[in-house]
Amino acid sequence: MTNGARDPKSERLEKLKAIIRDIHAGEDPSDLRIRFADLIRGVDGSEISRMEQQLIEEGMPAADIKRLCDVHVQVFRESLDKQSRPDALPGHPVHTFRAENAALGEAAERLKCALDELGSPADAALFEERRGELRDLAGTLAAVERHYLRKENQLFPVLERYEVTGPTQVMWAIHDDVRGLLKGFRSALDEGDLEGVTGRGPELAQTMLEMIYKEENILFPMATETLSEADWVEIRRGEDELGYALVEPGDEWRPTAEPAPAAAGEGEARGAGPVRRLPLDTGALTPEQVNLLLTNLPIDVTFVDENDEVRYYSATPERLFPRSPGIIGRKVQNCHPPDSVDVVNRIIDSFRNGEKDAAEFWLRLGDKLAHIRYFAMRDASGTYRGTLEVSQDIAPIQKLSGERRLLEWGEEQPPPR
């Protein structure tokens, strides 16, 4: 702005951020709502999203935003309730998300009612009588996992290209809260733990309902304002692989745009200057990246083409079986001792004629247990294009027990390369 003029939108955003800072400093949200009624009036979801993004960029921990995000919504709720919501045709990702929210929200409300009907304190006999119903409701709510996965893996990455990262971090953390509550609730049901059920169930239902409100009134309006049709096409193209929660997408949305160019991995290899990327089904990598990926896998791989010639092996630091560059281009039958050739031919022939798709063996090699698997490689038309051999020492895996949910690096377990 010239001549010292201030951008009204920026000035308003600064005032809204000051309200949030006051909340985090301990001021009463109700008092703030009354004091700043004129300022708060007309706030929409996109403004709240930008406000949270800037606060995080300015140093406010995302964990603090998450801890008090329900209070933020409480302050702006009246205004959010009055904002118009952009329409979306059946088949558009937003329409599908909203249809899922309707089904999931109904199930969450039913869970709240069912738990209320147990009484206070809860009636143990009635709990046993209605335990099956509660299990069914928990199973219905578990479908939220597919809803969250599509947000995390399809919607959030595209928003991040527009530097929308703060709100997505906060939402993802709440997803994990829901996952933990759902797991605890279902475990309590299985164990007949009435206290656990009545303690976790209401919180689970309420947390899910609050997330639905945030999506409908903050996330989706902001995303609709931010993303192009091409972005939504890209999001839609990846949704089927992750699945849907209680509904199926419609087919009325007819976009004309092509997927956004940022979705590298299809069409011709792309790159600036001398850097070239190989187009893959789900991404694009430079040759150097492909080589690094393959040589850092915790398994050994060897590829034999449709002509039975060895075309590649991964030169990992510690191989189970010796390999050298001399085998490249060599017939795979000549890479095995004579008494093994018959087995090699049987595997390849069964792959080539379509009888089998995989074969596996395991054998002791000193203190190692080698697990060796062969997979038929076929193109999109089903034509045999070669065989992939994968080998791995599974002795350390066999020794695993229980769970390790936190990062632990002992001296015997160095960080990954």
Based on the domain organization, do 27 and 160 belong to the same domain? no
My answer on whether 308 and 386 are in the same domain is: yes
Residue 273 has pLDDT above 60, yes or no: no
pLDDT digits (tens, 9 = 90+) for 148-157: 999 999 999 8
pLDDT value of position 411: 55
In a domain, 274, yes or no: no
CATH number of residue 311's parent domain: 3.30.450.20
Boundary of a domain, candidates 39, 60, 82: 82
Of 92-96, 131-135, 322-326, minimum mean pLDDT range: 322-326
- Taking residues 327-333, report their average pLDDT: 86
Residue 107 has pLDDT above 80, yes or no: yes
pLDDT in tens, 280-319: 888 889 988 998 998 888 899 999 999 999 999 898 877 8
Asked if residue 32 has pLDDT above 50, the reply is: yes
Calculate mean pLDDT across residues 327-349: 86
Within a domain: 257: no
Query: Is 238 within a domain?
Result: yes
d(CA 408, CA 90): 46
Whether 350 shows a pLDDT value over 90: the answer reads yes
Domain boundary among 205, 225, 242: 242
Q: Among 242, 257, 280, give the residue marking a domain's end.
A: 242
Domain assignment present for residue 254? The answer is: no
What count of other Cβ atoms lies within 10 Å of the Cβ of residue 141? 25
**What pLDDT does 72 receive?**
61
Say if residue 164 is in the same domain as residue 304.
Answer: no
- Report which of residues 50 and 144 the model is more confident about: 144
Q: Does 344 score more than 60 pLDDT?
A: yes
User: Does residue 412 belong to any structural domain of this protein?
Assistant: no
77 and 97 inside one domain: no
Question: Are 102 and 238 in a shared domain?
Answer: yes
> 260 lies in a domain?
no
At 376-414, the pLDDT tens digits run 999 999 999 999 999 999 999 999 999 887 877 765 555
Residue 40 in any domain: the answer is yes
Tell me the average pLDDT across 24-42.
69
Work out the average pLDDT over 357-363: 94
* Of 65-74, 91-100, 185-194, the least confident: 65-74
One domain, residues 152 and 45: no
Query: Does 77 share its domain with 112?
Result: no
CATH number at residue 129: 1.20.120.520
**CA quadruple 132, 137, 142, 146: dihedral sign:** positive
**Same domain flag for 238 and 151:** yes
Q: Residue 307: helix, strand or coil by DSSP?
A: coil
Taking all residues of the chain, what is their mean pLDDT, rounded to a whole number?
A: 84
- How many angstroms separate the CA atoms of 270 and 279, rounded? 8
Q: Specify whether 201 is located in the same domain as 323.
A: no
Q: Which domain holds residue 43?
A: 8-82
Query: Is residue 28 assigned to a domain?
Result: yes
From the number of C-beta atoms within 10 Å of its C-beta (0-12, 13-18, 19+), residue 251 rates as exposed
Structurally, the chain folds into a number of domains equal to 3
- 299-331 in b/e form (b: 16+ CB < 10 A) is ebbbbbbbebbbeebbebeeebeebeeebeeee
Please tell me whether residues 192 and 154 are part of one structural domain: yes
